[in-house]
Structures are given as structure tokens and as C-alpha cells.
Structure 1
């Protein structure tokens, strides 16, 4: 009797690189992600140019702050990008297939955060530099002319990309944590846009103490050319905002590991 031996095949092992490649494929093949990314870049450039054309001396603005006028709305757009990348899978049910392929679960979260954050940092930094470069010749003659090589300018422009990249990561974390696109976007918008306005209702001294540590105020400090009284320094502010994002990621990772999809 003749016997046939079956060659031993190495067990399939999904690597972190494989998970990252899979998540990139999802990101790159979704039309909504590129539309949202493009809208974010257009907001930064368009609002920067508009601010440069209408900005006047004596308004308390400089060339950098005018160029970055669109970052507030862009933050909401890139945050939505992060939410769609994560919570979108819960609404379609694709998350079950994803977690079946990646039983460890958390590599999915890290990959989504890296892709959303990394893509946003690159695109938004380029948009900020373009807004500054194209808008500078349009400035009012009373606004001091600045170049990329001047003190603080490059840090502020790159800082805009870093801040918006972290906002995108925050969107990913909220999407996994809340598992609802609408709920995640509402929390994101409330934390970045509405909460600073509510601080106006607090007594003056308390508002001045708390306000610099709010997520949007702390994160945007890295984009300021000069540190104003009562505000955090550029890198201190970015560190505070990074702590918020890290806390959201840790909470999202915990729920991803412990709760059913």
C-alpha cells in the first residue's frame, strides 16, 4: 500500500504589517475618505486665502494666523474622516469580518489610527504651507511680511498638520468607543467647537484657568506664532492635546477588547 505524505505548511500568521496593509486598502478604496480629505485641504487653503485678502493691520492678526484661519473647520472635517474610518464598519457590519480576521483586535485600532493620522498630517501640512505661501502676497501692506524661515513660522505650519492629524486619530478613537457615526461626530464637534464657547459662562477667573486646557485650545497652541497671556506654550499645548487623544485611544482599545462587535 502506497502512502502519500502531505508536506507541512507553516501556520499562517497575520503580522502587524498585514493588518496595516489591509486597513490601508479599505482607506484607499473608499471614495468618502478621499472626498473628506480633499475637503479638509480645500478648507485650509480657501479660508487662508480669504483671510489674507480681507485681513487688515491692527486686527491682532499676523500672516501665519491668517493663513491658518481654516483649521477650525478643517478639524471637524478630519475628525469626521477618522470617525468614518472606524464607526463606519460598525454601521455596515464589516467589523465582524475584520475582527474575525484579526482576533487580537487592537492592531486594527492602531492601524486605523496610524493611517488616519499619518495621512492627515501629510495632507494638512502641505495645505497649511500652500495657504501661507500663496496668501502672503495678498496681505494688506500693514501686515508684517513673514517667510517660512522666520522664527516660529515653520513650527506653526507643521504644528497645524500635527494638530489636525491628532484630531483625525481622536475621531478614530471615538468611532470605536461609541460605535456610532452620528454620536461620535456630535461628541467631537462638542469637544472642539462648543465646549470653548460654554467656558464663557463660567466666572472670569475660573474660565481663564480652565480654558487653556480645553482640547481645541491646547492643541491649537502649537499653531500660534506668539504665545498669548494665559495660553499654553506651543509644545506644552500639543502635549496636553496628545494626552486627551491617548486617553480616548486607551478607552477605545479597552472596549474593543472586552465588548462584542
Structure 2
């Protein structure tokens, strides 16, 4: 990490001042992630990279920092923890949604010493366009609800996406949250019934609906029992039925 200090010193100021006209201001969140990425703790660096993949940030300085870390580190060793860290940096760089980073990911895929890292570099390059759409969804503010905070509005955006993967990620985030606004649970219930009515039966769709049930159960609100019972009656999928039953039991 000492070899990276000079480059990082130049990039920190770019990251903190490069938020431009972003709304809302996420500079504090970006600064926290930067601190994690440049930490002396490998576990903290990996966690920060994971968080970047979920955040939908558009800060160019942040991604330039990630690119610098990856560029300097991808050929530095094949130890498991190092390869894991570099693999997450590949994913974090893909989360930029910026095709300008394809060249670096291609370089890692071709020259990394670890086959595992090569694999994740190739996979990350393929995900750039998907992450660009994810970023668009997370950062759309046209229909934001003034009663919700920024994170809750991003969750609603994700829940309303046509991508079941984004819906599932939102549901997971709700499950892991201590508390969200009741409006978020209303959206979860509506999306769950919409997916049921659409007859979604693919593996991803079923998994998404299962997470939506789990998230809805976290509300603790008995008014959602009817929604869950509709799903239980309307699906033939045994996995989903099992998750619905658990959700009903949790509310009861």
C-alpha cells in the first residue's frame, strides 16, 4: 500500500471536489468509501469495494482512485486475500458504468497472475453496461418523495425497476436495515403483487419475490398479511410458498 500513497494523495482531492452537480450531495459517503479503500486493513478495503458496487455513485475521482489501486496491485501477488481484494476492485470499477475502464479490465484479464482474478476482470467488463443502467435508476430524482430520505428514495427507484435483480437487491437492503419509511413497504407490497400477477416464474424472479416477502415481513404490519396470503395462494412454486409461510408466521 505504501507504493500507492503518492497516487492516492493526488486523487483524494479530485474525489472530494468532483461531485459536481450531483443531487443529493453524497460527498460524505464518497469520502467514507475512499477512507475504506485506502485503509491499512485488507478487510476494510474489501468491504469498501463491495459497498461501491451497491452505491450507484457517479463520482469520477472515486473511480479514478479504484483504477489506480487496481492498476498498481493486480500483478502484485497471488495470495487469496490479495486476489479477493483485486477482484472486488474490478467489480467496483465496473460499477462506474464507464466504458473508459474497459481497457484496464481487459489488461487485468490478460495479464493478472491469478486465473481467478482474470475471470473476475472479464466478468466485470461484461457488467459495465448493466451497472450504467443501475446507476441511472439509483440516481433518478424526478419522482422522489419528499417524505423519504435519499436512501429510501433510491430503494423505491430500485423496487420500481424492470430489472428483477435490482428489485431483489432493494429487498435485501430493506431486510438488512433497522428501519425504513412505511411508504417503502407499501411499494414492496405493490411490486410483489404485480410480479405475482405477471406470472413471473424464472429462478431470478422467484428469488426476488421471496426476498420481497421477507422484506415485507420486516414491517411487522398485520395489514400485509392479506398481500402475503394472496402470494401464497397464487403461486405453485414450493420455494416461494415456503418463504411466504415464514413471512406470515413472522408477522403473526
Q: TM-score, normalised by structure 2?
A: 0.30
Q: TM-score, normalised by structure 1?
A: 0.29
The structure with the larger Rg is 1
